[in-house]
Amino acid sequence: MYSRFVALRIRPAGREIRQATTTAVLPVRWLLAEWPADQDEPVQFWLSNLPDTTPLPVLVRTAKLRWRIENDYREMKQALGLAHFEGRTWPGWHHHVTLVSVAHAFCTLQRLTRSPKETAPA
């Protein structure tokens, strides 16, 4: 990571939040801000309800995990065919999603066991 991060404990404010709570005291949450070294101000912000004992590296890793999830979902849709199911039955859809998930797990295991400099066989 080439960014700096700051984490603060805050109470979110706003009419919608206050109306949604049944008590007068709003819950305390984490505010995590990413501030790249080459920027004049923070560029991304996250609110989290993780426990107050959560260390900063865990907060950052959890916030950045969203990118990994989006990337995996895109790979499953485009490369492995998750979006290509055209059936009409629940068992058929369930079978298709299961096979795509297994294929994705296999690809992930292959990626993790290979050296980064190792090339794929022809």
Cα radius of gyration (the chain):
21
DSSP string computed for 74-115: HHHHHTS-GGG----SHHHHHHHHHHHHHHHHHHHHHHHHS-
Give residue 81's region: left, alpha or beta (phi > 0; psi -120 to 50). Answer: left
pLDDT tens profile 7-16: 999 987 776 6
- Per-residue pLDDT of 51-109, as tens digits, reads 999 999 999 999 988 888 899 999 999 999 999 888 889 999 999 999 999 999 999 99
